[in-house]
């Protein structure tokens, strides 16, 4: 009985040790012949959009996205992602012992497609605070003096999964007010309400409040109520901003968010851009409590995925990772008024541009494909 008991106990010990070793190696530990000891390793999980891109690690072609690479010695690696027809991506990635490092990469086309979205002319576009609507003006006449029948103020409501087309559908842009003999709305300055439901049109001292979801056949002049209306909108915006700032748990980051002259939240509210100079901003990540410098630009705009930022410069439009790396020039050419906004699914950018031809000289909205 004693021999049988000892044999049983020995078997259990061997099984336990073997299981422990198996778990140990499954967690990324391995034996190093050079150091003659078991050392910890890390894991790299790397994905890309689009997928099936080549992955180079320290200059060596290793695998393709989307994949998991295990048993990597903890250190910094030069990671380069390449796919034909797309702008390469590269970054120094630190692999840490016993941890999985996740890398998500977006590759942008080396030669993006550019296509028109409007054809009647566009001026003074204004994006709503919620980012879901675009108000713009169709002018009363073109450069040759020809009258434009659709003159007035239009609103384009779009959603994340809506195709970017102006074909007849429920997503087609709609006119909210027509230019009339007595009121030339084609010369209006536009401003959205805080809740993105109304558009204020200012024309020569008169102020008309327009509902954004329908045609306003009898525009309401609220000039006597303008100060109170604007104050109410400003208070709503300030209250929402204060709620966001107070939700920041880190006191140092909360102070930066509340004291910066320029501050913009990422769509998922896990990061924010801030600074005293609009052209020189930093990104503050609420999750890892780190800050990242951004390249200088005329304006910085969050992409809807919260992982990338649009840089608008004098003659170029670029996209960078939120940490300021991997600057990819998407567009170089003519675009007006520094106006750029991203489509809700991050698949394209929209700009105002024109071309020096008889049929394309009027400013219109153009899409720049990112996928």
Could you read off the pLDDT of 104-152 as tens digits, one per residue?
999 999 999 999 999 889 999 999 998 889 999 998 887 667 777 889 9
Q: Is residue 164's pLDDT more than 50? A: no
Ordered by where they begin, the domains of the chain are 2-106 (2.60.40)
How far is it, in rounded angstroms, from Cα 208 to Cα 253?
Answer: 40
Q: Provide, rounded to the nearest whole percent, the portion of the chain with pLDDT above 70.
A: 88
Q: Is residue 4's pLDDT more than 90? A: no
Q: Is residue 349's pLDDT more than 60? A: yes
Burial state string for 198-215 with b = 16 or more CB within 10 A and e = fewer than 16: bbbbebeeebbbbbbeee
Q: Give DSSP secondary structure letters for 328-355.
A: EEEEES--STT-EEE-TTSSEEEEEE--
Per-residue confidence band for 155, with pLDDT thresholds at 50, 70 and 90: very high
Provide the pLDDT for residue 36. Answer: 56
C-beta of residue 65 within 8 angstroms of C-beta of residue 51 = yes
Query: Both ends of the chain: CA-CA distance in Å?
Result: 73
The pair of three-digit structure tokens given for residue 315, joined into one six-digit string: 């003659």
Mean pLDDT of 301-318: 95
Among 358, 352, 316, which residue's Cα sits nearest to residue 124? 352
C-beta of residue 309 within 8 angstroms of C-beta of residue 317 = no
Question: For residue 142, what are the contacts with CB-CB under 8 A and spacing of at least 6?
Answer: 121, 148, 362
CB atoms inside a 10 Å sphere around CB 125: 22
Strands 290-293 and 280-285 come out as: antiparallel
Burial state string for 74-84 with b = 16 or more CB within 10 A and e = fewer than 16: beebebbbbbe
How far is it, in rounded angstroms, from Cα 366 to Cα 371?
Answer: 15
Could you read off the pLDDT of 47-69 as tens digits, one per residue?
999 999 999 999 999 999 999 99
Model-level pTM? 0.84
Q: What are phi and psi of 24, to 5 degrees?
A: -60, -45
Among 228, 223, 183, which residue's Cα sits nearest to residue 206? 223
Q: Is 37 exposed, middle or buried (0-12, 13-18, 19+ CB in 10 A)?
A: exposed
Per-residue confidence band for 361, with pLDDT thresholds at 50, 70 and 90: confident
Per-residue confidence band for 102, with pLDDT thresholds at 50, 70 and 90: very high
Sheet bearing 54-57, strands edge to edge: 60-64, 54-57, 75-82, 89-95
Which three-class secondary structure state does DSSP give residue 58?
A: coil
Mean pLDDT over each residue of the chain, to the nearest integer = 88
Provide the pLDDT for residue 97. Answer: 86
Could you read off the pLDDT of 317-341 as tens digits, one per residue?
999 999 999 999 999 998 988 899 9
Per-residue confidence band for 38, with pLDDT thresholds at 50, 70 and 90: low
Q: Provide, rounded to the nearest whole percent, the portion of the chain with pLDDT above 90.
A: 67
Q: Is residue 163's pLDDT more than 50? A: no
Phi-psi region of 216 (alpha: psi -120 to 50; beta: other; left: phi over 0): beta
Phi-psi region of 324 (alpha: psi -120 to 50; beta: other; left: phi over 0): left
């Amino acid at each position: 009985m004693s021999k049988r008991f000892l044999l049983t106990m020995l078997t259990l010990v061997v099984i336990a040790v073997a299981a422990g070793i198996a778990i140990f190696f499954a967690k990324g530990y391995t034996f190093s012949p050079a150091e003659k000891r078991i050392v910890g390793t890390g894991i790299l999980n790397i994905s890309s959009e689009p997928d099936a891109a080549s992955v180079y690690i320290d200059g060596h072609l290793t695998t393709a996205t989307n994949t998991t690479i295990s048993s990597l010695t903890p250190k910094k690696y030069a990671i380069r992602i390449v796919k034909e027809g797309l702008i390469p991506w590269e970054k120094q990635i630190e692999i840490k012992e016993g941890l999985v490092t996740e890398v998500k990469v977006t590759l942008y086309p080396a030669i993006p497609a550019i296509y028109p979205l409007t054809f009647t002319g566009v001026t003074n576009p204004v994006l709503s605070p919620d980012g879901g609507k675009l108000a713009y003006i169709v002018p009363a006449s073109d450069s040759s003096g020809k009258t434009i029948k659709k003159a007035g103020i239009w609103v384009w409501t779009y959603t994340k999964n809506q195709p970017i087309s102006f074909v007849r559908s429920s997503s087609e842009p709609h006119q909210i007010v027509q230019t009339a003999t007595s009121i030339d709305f084609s010369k209006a300055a536009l401003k959205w309400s805080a809740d993105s439901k109304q558009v204020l049109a200012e024309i020569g001292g008169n102020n008309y409040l327009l509902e954004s979801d329908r045609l306003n056949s009898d525009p309401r002049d609220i000039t006597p109520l303008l100060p109170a209306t604007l104050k109410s909108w400003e208070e709503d915006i300030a209250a929402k901003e204060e709620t966001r700032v107070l939700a920041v748990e880190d006191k140092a980051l909360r102070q930066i968010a509340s004291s910066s002259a320029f501050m913009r939240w990422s769509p998922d509210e896990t990061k924010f851009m801030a600074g005293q100079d609009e052209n020189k901003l930093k990104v503050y990540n609420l999750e890892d409590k780190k800050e990242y410098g951004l390249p200088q630009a005329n304006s910085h705009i969050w992409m809807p995925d919260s992982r990338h930022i649009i840089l608008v410069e004098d003659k170029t439009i670029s996209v960078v990772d939120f940490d300021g790396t991997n600057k990819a020039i998407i567009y170089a050419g003519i675009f007006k008024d520094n106006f750029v906004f991203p489509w809700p699914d991050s698949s394209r950018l929209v700009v105002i541009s024109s071309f020096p031809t008889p049929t394309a000289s009027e400013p219109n909205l153009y899409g720049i494909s990112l996928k």
